[in-house]
Amino acid sequence: MHDDRIHVERRLDRLYKERILPAKYSARVPLQIEVWYVPDEPVPVAEALAATYRASGVGEPWGTPWSTAWFRVTGQVPAEWAGRRVELVVDLGFTGGGPGFQAEGLVYDRAGRPIKGVAPRNMYVPIASPARGGEDVALLIEAAANPDVGVDGFKPTPLGDKATAGKEPLYRLAAVDLAVLDEEAWHLALDFEVLSGLMAELSTHDPRRHEILRAMERAADVLDAQDVAGTATAARTRLAAVLASPAHASAHTLAAVGHAHIDSAWLWPQRETIRKSARTFANVTALAAEYPEFIFAASQAQQYAWVKTHQPAVFQRIGEAVKAGQWAPVGGMWVESDANLPGGEALARQLVHGKRFFMDEFGVECEEIWLPDSFGYTAAFPQIARLAGVRWFLTQKLSWNQTNKLPHHTFRWEGIDGTRVFTHFPPVDTYNSEFSGSELAHAVANYAEKGAGTRSLVPFGWGDGGGGPTREMLEKARRLHDLEGSPRVVIEKPADFFRAAEAEYPDAPVWSGELYLELHRATYTSQARTKAGNRRSEHLLREAELWAATASVRTGAAYPYEALDRLWKVVLLHQFHDILPGSSIAWVHQETEATYARVAEELNRIVDSALSTLGGGVFNAAPHPRTEVVDGTLVTVPALGVAAVAATASPAAVTVDGLVLDNGLVRVEVDENGLLTSVRDLTAGREVLAPGLPGNLLQLHADLPNEWDAWDIDAHYRRQRVDLTEASSVTVVDSGPLVGAIRVEREFGASRVTQTIRVRAGSRRIDVETDIDWHEVEKVLKAAFPIDVHADRSAAEIQFGHVHRPTHNNTSWDSARFEVYAHRWMHVSEPGYGVAVLNDSTYGHDVTRTTRDGDGGTTTTVRLSLVRAPRFPDPKADQGLHRFTYALLPGASIVDAVAEGYALNLPARVAEGGAGAVPAPLVRVDNPAVVVEAVKLADDRSGDVVVRLYEAAGGRATATVRPGFPTSCASVVDLLERRLQDAPPHADSDGGVHLSLRPFQIVTLRFARSTPA
């Protein structure tokens, strides 16, 4: 019997592959083909309609890398096909690669209206159903010759840069035919696929498996292999009973939603994502017209905006599908951003701009965050989400963890402030499901909440330009809706799934803290210039909003609403989870660096215009007052304010004695090789560095991960290390009295590093200004500070607060965090004393603790990951010049780290002006632990002033927020500036608002101005 079953299965498999599948199209006729090759970048369809074409045909090579060919195809439906379902079948020369990673096309009618995309596994375009016979066919196919950058197994390739990709055609046109779809044969193939997939997942002891096998055998018995079309109906009749048998009452429910994860840039540039989005969305809207039960969910407002601009007809169809309930905008973010590296205000604006777009265009307010593919998730997200009106959170990427499996699929995720958001992590472990039997069985077996929850989510469809869901997937969903032995498949909107899942599981377990991905840890470091561009853009946007708002309130100057809105969206786009993490092709990062330069230029113009309006002085956009050396003068400047360019403080002078820098607060000793041999905190009377261990030690590691070059840094990198202890030169370049500085130059391999160690009067901060000319390959460069404190945990700044991580490896969860991210600072401490390591653009870090043999003391070493050299997908990643600053801050509390982190990232600005009185800050806060993150004018152009602040120390805090302008009332609002509380916050007679904040609580205040200032 066992052998008989095997033979039957082999028979069925061959019959399905060699006879039933090919019977899908019962007749074909080729079309006439002409071609026009676009000289360079893609063009609109109007230009293609007017172009001059030449004769072409099947078999012609086409498509140099990244080029576009327009094929004009003409013909006539044969008269004998009357009453049949006729389709255009296009094979652009599709290779064995997956959908979305090779050639793609968009088909237009003769008037230039987009109809539908074509891609592998989605090669058809409807022509007539039923056909009359004799219809003329005239269509245009915009064919994109996208290379499969990962075709060689993610090895270094020149294909990711248009300049190096070559000129040889990638593809050979394989078919452009009219064809008759034999619907009975097609449905028979789908019956076989669903039943064989289910059968394969059932136990050999399950009677249902054998029932299916025998039914399929009976179907095969009546099927004529030479006449599948003529006998398909009879074969399907033999399968009807097993397909009609209902699912068990206890069957798991899979809430299925159409999906097409489209990376806004990755192994292709943004310009190609614009076309991928249009092709996919055209497919989806065409499919919705054919399948009334179909529901599609798409995130990323940016992609909708692209389609609205470039393909307005497709965008109109999207709007109609939304109204019909077949299309669900989800996620509420501008893009599916990285969820670790964007700053707090940037994550808030992702939601503000995304949600506003969907509300303005479709009248839909998204209630979920949809981030299936981002590389870990900040513990600040639950609060940010709830303050944007979000109830639910979805991710998938944590299924990629290398070491530990997350114990839940449905849970409440608790952030650093205690806010919780209902979260789902689909157990199907993919966001590109095709409803295979193995996928569905895995979803059920893998589901961690058995006995408590009964449902999970399955996003189905080909992503990244593969066209999204297919009609075959929808047909399989119909068969799987209520099928014995299978989970129930119910197509529904994500919001409906979340409501039902939350209702059935009110006591869902809680996961507290960050959702750390135990993979892709190198994304904190790869493509350092991209990361620096992001960090500096975020801080320039802060400055532009603050000073433009101040100028508007103080002088009536016009506030640059349109420019700031546009620039924010540009920066948000480049926080996409394959751009900011550094995991895209060279083309993407070249464009990104150029874009950041343009953003900086425009934002600096906005800032300069506002400052010139406000008059001269030293301007401080940071949330804390500062005393700083500016233009050879030591100046004290209020938080968010301005001071005259004149000496306002007289601290001890900086002295330079040989290679020793001393400003009365810290004494820094540098040896002949430029290493820090001593950092003495003169106020505390203690040495900061561990005995015998140098500070600012540059360490070079071999860095060849097991796979995923740009994404991963694997633990074995620590086994090979070279300490860069020799300097080419060590020179004193500033000798006081306000600044002391020593320049150190090092050469290693093919690279050069120049560092200036700088101490300023009145400051405990020791800056290390760094220029690297980097030309290593498969290496990572780190900077180490061995600190003489016994710290069992480190603190790392994240969005709107910080997280603590252990410095030990007690558990596998601890060990897996061998590389972590931080924003502007890391802090390590023991009771009574702490030290911070600050940076202005570095995110990757590691922190370790060791016990010294000599004195039994503990060394806590903080290292910054400065630059890497991966070779895929960009073979020249990070090569060339880098400029950044990091700093050591002895004797630092968390509040000190916060203040100096902002100060390092927001240098004081000097503006020339008259001798009049300097303007007062627009807003003041009387507690240094309560930090202002943004000051701007309200988005509704009412002239109201919006102030966003948060508690930064991790404790409870009270503060008075005092506006520097007349105000009629103040309101607590959400991130979209909508009132949150019916009662206004407590305010005094001068308009000061009194707040009591929980640890890490974010509060947004909206001040209505009572009279023009």
Identity of the residue numbered 109: D
Longest dimension (CA), the chain: 100
DSSP 8-state class, residue 561: H
Residue indicated by tokens 């009412």: 942
Task: List the catalytic residue out of 3, 206, 373, 926.
Answer: 373
Cβ atoms 188, 224 nearer than 8 A = no
CB atoms within 10 A of CB 869: 21
CB atoms within 10 A of CB 657: 12
SS3 of the chain: helix, strand, coil, percent, to 5: 30, 30, 40
Q: How far apart are CA 468 and CA 326, in angstroms?
A: 14
Q: How far apart are CA 589 and CA 721, in angstroms?
A: 29
The answer for residues whose C-beta is within 8 angstroms of residue 511's C-beta and 6 or more apart is 406, 408, 411, 412, 413, 414, 423
297 forms beta bridges with 328
Query: Cα 370–374–378 angle (5° rounding)?
Result: 90
DSSP 8-state class, residue 20: I
Q: Strand order of the sheet with strand 67-76?
A: 54-56, 32-37, 67-76, 136-145, 104-108, 114-118
Find the length of the chain: 1013
* Active-site residue, 988 included: no
The answer for residues whose C-beta is within 8 angstroms of residue 491's C-beta and 6 or more apart is 255, 256, 257, 258, 293, 294, 295, 474, 477
Q: How far apart are CA 276 and CA 270, in angstroms?
A: 10
Identity of the residue numbered 365: E
Q: Give the burial class of 783: count Cβ atoms within 10 A of its Cβ; 0-12 exposed, 13-18 middle, 19 or more buried.
A: buried
Q: SS3 for 253-288, per residue?
A: EEEEEECCCCCCCCCCCHHHHHHHHHHHHHHHHHHH
CB atoms within 10 A of CB 984: 13
Residue 487: closest CA among 436, 538, 529, 415: 436
CB atoms within 10 A of CB 566: 12
Beta strand ranges found along 938-992 (DSSP E): 945-951, 957-963, 967-973
CA dihedral 92, 97, 100, 101 (to 10 degrees): -100
Asked, as a colleague might, if the bond just before 737 is cis with ω within 30 of 0, I would say: yes
Beta strand ranges found along 714-870 (DSSP E): 721-723, 729-735, 739-748, 751-760, 766-774, 779-787, 793-798, 801-806, 820-821, 825-830, 833-839, 844-851, 858-868
DSSP output for 138-155? EEEEEEEE---TTTTTS-
Query: Cα 227–229–235 angle (5° rounding)?
Result: 90
Q: Are strands 660-662 and 171-172 parallel, antiparallel or unpaired?
A: unpaired
Q: How far apart are CA 71 and CA 48, in angstroms?
A: 9
Q: How far apart are CA 738 and CA 761, in angstroms?
A: 5
Identity of the residue numbered 10: R
- Ramachandran angles phi, psi of 508, nearest 5°: -55, 145
Which residues belong to the active site? 373
